[in-house]
Amino acid sequence: ILNVEQSPQSLHVQEGDSTNFTCSFPSSNFYALHWYRWETAKSPEALFVMTLNGDEKKKGRISATLNTKEGYSYLYIKGSQPEDSATYLCAFDYSSASKIIFGSGTRLSIRP
């Protein structure tokens, strides 16, 4: 079984603070790394899909980096807002078999 690890499991951050969390994944048979945001009572929605070592992606206040050689990705949120409260999932896209394996997620809560 492929192991995709996310840390921390949960995070409580003051509004306005910046935060980051980690996804680690197998460095072999890498195809792509996905980040999703999953808000309560909604479906998970894609933030980024990254494929190349050294990739950096940005969407508004959220950005992500990728290191495929050492098998990790960071997600950064700058100036956290209450609407950023959600579970953030990373997913490892395994070889060309279209198999997507998820980590257990980081649950982020923003305190006003």
Partner 1 sequence: DGGITQSPKYLFRKEGQNVTLSCEQNLNHDAMYWYRQDPGQGLRLIYYSQIVNDFQKGDIAEGYSVSREKKESFPLTVTSAQKNPTAFYLCASRDSNRGMNTEAFFGQGTRLTVV
User: How far apart (Å, rounded) are the C-alpha atoms in residues 78 and 97?
Assistant: 35
**What is the smallest separation between the CB atom of 112 and partner 1, expressed in angstroms?**
25
Amino acid at 2: L
**What is the smallest separation between the CB atom of 91 and partner 1, expressed in angstroms?**
8
- Looking up tokens 């792509």 gives 32
Tokens matching residue 87: 């579970």
Closest C-alpha to 50, from 75, 87, 84: 75
Amino acid at 86: A
- CA 43, 47, 107, 27 dihedral sign is positive
User: Binding marks (x or -) toward partner 1, 19..38, rule CB under 8 A?
Assistant: ------------xx-x-x--
| Residue nearer to partner 1 on the CB measure, 71 or 105 | 105
Per CB under 8 A, does 104 bind partner 1? yes
Per CB under 8 A, does 40 bind partner 1? no
Please give the DSSP secondary-structure letter assigned to residue 68.
Answer: T
**What is the smallest separation between the CB atom of 40 and partner 1, expressed in angstroms?**
12
User: Using CB under 8 A, which residues numbered 53 to 82 contact partner 1?
Assistant: none
Judged by the rule CB under 8 A, the positions of this chain that interact with partner 1 are 1-2, 6, 31-32, 34, 36, 43-46, 49-51, 89, 91, 93, 96-105
